[in-house]
Copies of this chain bind each other. A is one copy, B any other.
Amino acid sequence: MSEKLNQLKEILGEVSDLNHAASVLGWDQQVNMPPAGGEARGQHLATLGKISHQKSTADEVGKLLDDLKQEFTGSDSDDAALVRVAARDYDKATRVPSEFVAEQAVVTSAAFEAWVEAKGKSDFSIFRPHLEKVMDLVHKYVSYFPPTEHPYDVLLDDFEPGMKTSEVKEIFDALRPQQVKLIKDIRSAKQVKADFLHKKYNEKKVWDFSEAISAKFGYDFGRGRQDKAAHPFETSFSVNDVRITNRFEPDSPLSTLFSGMHESGHAMYEQGINPAYDRTPLAHGVSSAVHESQSRLWENIVGRSLPFWEHFLPELKKTFPSQLDGVSAKAFYKAINKVEPSLIRVNADEATYNLHIMLRLELEIGMLEGKVAIKDLPEIWNAKMQEYVGITPPNDAQGVLQDIHWSSGLFGYFPTYALGNLVSAQLWEKINKDIRDLDEQIRKGKFDALLGWLREKVHVHGHKFDPQDLIQKVTGSKINSAAYVRYLTKKYSEIYSL
């Protein structure tokens, strides 16, 4: 039997190599590639995707898995988990033809290039025909699966295994009134001052400061690097090569610091996975929501806390003395948590962030149900932004074109951002029971106990457990909004004296 397991691991190892090679090509496309190279790159990725798909859906794999599933029934070993995850992946992948995967790679590669251009020129019409093609593929993809409660379940399951659209709606429905009430209370409270965040800051110095924070957190630059890209993201080629990207926006210069913390959170997860899982389907974060819980924990719960800035502000003030002259840690803390209607999701404050997600979820479901036409997307986007957040984007670049996801065919992904926020708060409540003086440690710029806890409880396990099981195991309950509402209420009551 161990021979069959070795055969399976050999094939999965090659699939992993092909997928990691594709990740390198994808990273290069966004960080380095001259745009003229896009068409050929699309073909390279199509071929890698096709071969990876052929290998992972070969009959041989199915036969090996059938035998191994019986062998490992009831075991909780790493190998049993590997067989279970591989069997689920196999079942999904065998429903999707190789030709579809190849076509998708070509279409999304071109769509990505078009999105970059469209965003640069703030012109949705450049992106529209590409998004229509992407959407056709999304419909085709869903059609390969047996009917579900809602067709969107098929898309969601790829990022949050086992989760249903109805469950997400239920969680969001419990959360929405609480956030709406909080925002309302804040609106009528005395506003905080944040003008010093929008002064002119030197790009290189901000960039260096961002890298210093990441290194202090425990992101290992010896096994990673940070580069510039149009959109911040994290990508992993092995546990020893986990990279992040970042950007600098002159209008919001310090957002680079928070993007850096966010992507470092993702990257530390990937760097912390058991190296024994290398080249297997266990060598990844368990789900998008759990991944996002890591990034949001470091970015928001740690990076937008008072103790954090009691440690880092003196250093930041040394770097930017004129911009931050006379600003106290408390004032800085309030400013970076200022609640206000904003256009860009990734820069949105914690009190409004989930509204951006709800907007996207509604549009995705609308497009999938055929109730939202792609040509009308900018108009509907802008109307919903006005309705939910209270402002209308002045152009498409700051509206419907702001996110990379649709250009890459990522539908079903957005809700996991909000779920990740909820999980981060669930984890945080538990961590603070286990590490009693955590605030004090953060105030001293010490993050090793925190990272150690996350490594042990979450990171090291990679994809071994199902996401809801892992969250239950670590925090005592499945994904829910209670902890997040407690966290938000406490934080903003303090900041706005509610």
Interface residues, chain A, with chain B CB atoms under 8 Å away? 13-14, 17-18, 20-22, 24-25, 28, 32-37, 39-41, 43-44, 46-48, 50-51, 221-225, 227, 237-241, 278-279
Contacts and interface: CB of A to CB of B under 8 A. Distances in A.
A21 B44 contact: yes
B279 A37 contact: no
B24 A28 contact: yes
A240 B21 contact: no
Contacts of A18: 47-48, 51
Given A225-B32, A279-B43, A241 B48 contact: no
Interface centre among A25, A36, A238, A239 (most CB of B within 10 A): A36
A46 B46 CA distance: 20
Contact of A34 (B13, B20, B35, B224): B224
Contacts of A13: 43, 47
A57 to B, nearest CB: 16
B240 A40 contact: yes
Contacts of A47: 13-14, 17-18, 21
A21 B40 contact: no
A44 B237 contact: yes
A237 B37 contact: yes
A21 B25 contact: yes
25 contacts: A13-B43, A13-B47, A14-B50, A17-B47, A20-B44, A21-B25, A21-B44, A21-B47, A21-B48, A24-B24, A24-B25, A24-B44, A28-B28, A33-B241, A34-B221, A34-B223, A36-B223, A37-B237, A39-B240, A40-B240, A40-B241, A41-B237, A41-B238, A41-B241, A43-B279
Q: What's the dominant secondary structure at chain A's contact region?
A: helix
A23 B143 CA distance: 37
B37 A238 contact: yes
A103 to B, nearest CB: 15
Given A43-B17, A48-B21, A241-B40, A34 B225 contact: yes
Contacts of A224: 34
Contacts of A37: 223, 237-238, 240-241
A96 to B, nearest CB: 19
Given A28-B28, A47-B14, A48-B21, A40 B225 contact: no
Contacts of A32: 225, 227
Nearest to A35: B222
A36 B39 CA distance: 31
A43 B237 CA distance: 11
A278 B240 CA distance: 34
A35 B47 CA distance: 28
Contacts of A221: 34
B237 A48 contact: no
A222 B36 contact: yes
